[in-house]
Homo-oligomer: A and B are copies of this chain.
C-alpha cells in the first residue's frame, strides 16, 4: 500500500475520537467508556487488531480523493459511516449472543444487555451528528443529500439484519434470499461509503452512481469472503473461533450452496447439530461438492465486476490505485 493510507487512517482515527467525545454529559463517563472500549481505544489489547480495519471510512476518503475532491472535507462522512458500522456491531453482538468481538468481550458481555443496547443507540446518534457536520465544509444541499444517503443505507441495514435474524429460524433459505439479506446487511453501508465520498467531491450523478455501485459490489465480495473465512479461516487470524459457522449453523453462502446441491453435505446438515470433531469430515464433503471453488470464484467475479464499474467513474491518482488494491487485497484478506 502507498503512503496516503497511513495519513488517511490517522486522520480517520482523530475524527472518530473527536466524534465520540461529543457524548460528554455530566455523570456519563461509564457510557463514554463503553464507546471508547468498543472503538478499541481502551480496555486491553491496545493494538490495531481491536480497532477493526476502518475499511468503510477509507473507502470514503479514497473515493473523494480519486474523484478529484479534497479528502479532508470527507472526514465527517468517513467517521459517520464507521460509527454506523460500530453501532451495528454493538447491537449485532447482542442479537447473535456473540460473547467476543475482535478477541475481547463484547460490550453486552462486559456491561450487560440494557447498557449495551443504549450504548449502541448513543453510537448511532453520534454517527448522525457527525454526518451533519458535512454542512460545515460542503454546501447545505450536498450535505443534506449525503445525510439522506447515509440514512437510507441505515434503513437498508436494519432490513438486512431483520432478514439475517429471520433466516436463523427459517428452514428454507435460498441463495436468492441470501443476496437480498447481504445487499442490506453489508453492501448498503459499503455503497453509502463510496457514495458519500463521491458527494463530497461534487461528482455528477453518473459518476456518483458508478462509485456507489463499486462500493456495493465490494461489499458483496467482502461478505462472501467473510463467509469463506467462517469455514476455511484460521482462528488466530480472524479472532473468531474456527469454523464456527458450521457448528453455529449459520446459513452462510457456502452452506446454502452445499444445501442447494442436495448431496451428502445437505443430508448431513439436515440430520442436525455438528460436533467440532466432525468438522473436518463435513468440510471435506462441502469441498468435494464444489463449495470452496464456488465461493472463491464468486469473490473473484464480484471483484472483477467492481473493478469494471470503477473504471466508469474515471478515478485518478494514487487514491485510484489504492481503491483497486483494496479490492484486490480483499481476496487475500487475512484479518
Contacts and interface: CB of A to CB of B under 8 A. Distances in A.
Interface of A: 22-23, 25-28, 30-31, 88, 91, 94-96, 113-115, 117-122, 124-126, 128-129, 132, 135, 140-141, 143-144, 147-148, 151-152, 154-156, 158-159, 161-163, 165-166, 177, 180, 184
**Secondary structure at chain A's binding surface: helix, strand, loop or mixed?**
helix
A155 B122 contact: yes
A122 B27 contact: no
Contacts of A148: 129, 132
A28 B95 contact: no
Contacts of A118: 91, 95, 158, 161-162, 165
Contacts of A141: 140
Given A25-B156, A27-B180, A158-B122, A117 B94 contact: yes
| 3 A-B pairs with least C-beta separation | A95-B114, A140-B140, A122-B158
Nearest to A160: B25
Contacts of A129: 148, 151-152, 155
Contact of A115 (B27, B121, B155, B162): B162
A165 B152 CA distance: 31
B162 A22 contact: no
A177 B25 CA distance: 12
Contacts of A22: 155
A306 to B, nearest CB: 23
Given A140-B141, A144-B135, A159 B91 contact: no
Nearest to A22: B155
Contacts of A163: 27-28
B151 A140 contact: no
B147 A132 contact: yes
A53 B156 CA distance: 30
Nearest to A168: B114
A164 to B, nearest CB: 9
B122 A151 contact: no
A12 to B, nearest CB: 21
Contact of A143 (B27, B122, B128, B144): B144
Nearest to A94: B117
- Among A91, A140, A162, residue most surrounded by chain B Cβ atoms (within 10 Å): A162
Nearest to A177: B27
Given A140-B144, A165-B115, A121 B158 contact: yes
Contacts of A28: 159, 162-163
Contacts of A113: 94-95, 113
A316 B119 CA distance: 41
Nearest to A165: B114
Contacts of A26: 180
Contact of A121 (B91, B132, B152): B91
Contacts of A128: 128, 151, 154
- Among A118, A151, A180, residue most surrounded by chain B Cβ atoms (within 10 Å): A118
